[in-house]
Amino acid sequence: VIFSSAKEGSVKVAKEIRDLILDKQSKGEMCVLGLATGSSPIKVYEELIRIHKEESVSFQNVITFNLDEYYPMEPENIHSYHYFMHEHLFNHIDILPKNINIPKGNITVDELHDYCISYEDQIDAVGGLDFQLLGIGRTGHIGFNEPGSHVNSETRSILLDHITRVDAANSFLGIDNVPKKAITMGIGTVKKAKRIVLLGWGDKKASIIKETIEGAISSEVPASYLQLHSNTTFVLDKEAASEL
Ligand code: GLP
pTM for the full predicted model: 0.98
Cα(137) to centroid(ligand 1), Å: 5
CA distance 40 to 55: 24
Instruction: Give the CATH number of domain 2-237.
Output: 3.40.50.1360
Cα(187) to centroid(ligand 1), Å: 15
Domain ranges of the chain: 2-237
CA triplet 173, 175, 177: central angle to 5 degrees? 65
Whether 145 lines ligand 1, by a CB cut-off of 6 Å, is no
pLDDT per residue as tens, the chain (244 positions): 999 999 999 999 999 999 999 999 999 999 999 999 999 999 999 999 999 999 999 999 999 999 999 999 999 999 999 999 999 999 999 999 999 999 999 999 999 999 999 999 999 999 999 999 999 999 999 999 999 999 999 999 999 999 999 999 999 999 999 999 999 999 999 999 999 999 999 999 999 999 999 999 999 999 999 999 999 999 999 999 999 9
Looking at residue 176, the DSSP 8-state letter turns out to be: G
CA distance 55 to 138: 36
Q: Which residues are catalytic?
A: 146
Whether 34 lines ligand 1, by a CB cut-off of 6 Å, is no
